[in-house]
Amino acid sequence: MFVQMRRLTVTEGNGDKVVERFSGKGIIEEQEGFIDSTVMVKKVRRGEEEVVVLVRWDSEDSWKRWEKSDAHIAGHKANLGKPKPEYMIHSEGGVYDVKAVKMPASSSKI
């Protein structure tokens, strides 16, 4: 499994805008190898919120195909040259190979 993580820091009260953007229906759900996406919000300190988006893929190759796809590139080109939203303070991301996953004991029994 492969995970793409994005951490966005926004001004207080604007986390819901980021949640809406990353949790709404999109074309990523139709991509081969896409497993799921999780969006979480944490109040960091007064005046800021942190939104973390985790996107799970069945493999790094599936993620790479998505990153290089015409649909993904077109979505980024549509925003090229536009200023970032004024509520956006910081954004960073990373990609990870999943090395271990713990499941409830009941799910491992057949």
- What ranges do the domains of the chain cover? 2-98
- Judge if pTM exceeds 0.75: yes
Q: 110 or 58, which is more confident?
A: 58
Residue 101 has pLDDT above 80, yes or no: yes
CA distances from 55 to 29, 38, 47, 48, 89 (A): 10, 6, 27, 23, 22
- The stretch 6-33 carries a mean pLDDT of 93
Least Cα distance to 24 among 11, 39, 10, 12 occurs for 39
Candidate CATH numbers 3.20.20.70, 3.30.70.100, 3.40.1180.10, 3.50.50.60; the one for domain 2-98: 3.30.70.100
Average pLDDT, the chain: 90
Least Cα distance to 51 among 102, 12, 24, 25 occurs for 12
Least Cα distance to 48 among 96, 91, 107 occurs for 91
pLDDT tens string 37-91: 999 999 777 889 999 999 999 999 999 999 999 988 988 787 778 888 999 999 9
